[in-house]
Structure 1
Amino acid sequence: MPFTPFHMGAGLALKAVAGRHFSVLTFGIAQVAMDIEPLVGMLRGAAVLHGPTHTYLGAVPIALATAVLAPWPCRPLLKRWNQEVTHYRAPWLAEDERWKPRTVLLSALAGTWSHVLLD
């Protein structure tokens, strides 16, 4: 089912294990990006909602696009994100304000591939 919040559970588990080497924000954006195809399918009344982008190979371009584009909308949100997770006593969810390209790329790949696995 598209737009399910259950996909983020995998991201939170990965964040708990990988810590600062994983971006839960990038993971979440990758999850949303993966659901663009099903959204378009639902709006068009398509019989098949999970098409080519919901394969491991098809998820790679979405992960690459996410890795390139995610830092821009996330940079303004990052300070607020870190304040919120600290306030709610979940500092393990805090993100480094200087994102590393490798972290962003691996988080995006984890987001798209886990999405394919869970769908």
Structure 2
Amino acid sequence: MKSSLVTWLLRIVVAVILLQTLYFKFTGAEESIYIFTTLGMEPYGRIGSGIAELVASILIIYPRTTWLGALIGLGVMIGAIASHLLVLGIEVQNDRGTLFILAVITFICCSLLVYQNKNKIYNLLKLKF
């Protein structure tokens, strides 16, 4: 029971963080446009990462596909964290590092979900096609 509760909390945290950023990405909020313009990826990077985050969120919530959503979430968050560390900086437009912190929290939660589902991933990799 305890493990199941922790798993659901991790899923919900990731889904809420990823889903709440979609509004800003899909509506073309000033902050999102600034970030992706700075990265040289506006508008395709903004919309593409939003779609990847939407797919990851849906997959994470559904227990049978949590592992896949968590892997996608890890990939997106590696990109976000690297962008902050290498180009944008921790603080973007006076946000006090909020976006960076949310990316790190999401990365950690996705990592834990991948670890919890490592047997499913391993068994999938063992399949012979």
After TM superposition, the score normalised by the length of structure 2 is 0.30
Identify the structure with bigger relative contact order (alpha carbons < 8 Å, sequence gap 6+).
1
Higher Cα Rg, which structure: 2
Q: Counting helix residues as a fraction of each chain, which structure ranks higher?
A: 2
After TM superposition, the score normalised by the length of structure 1 is 0.31
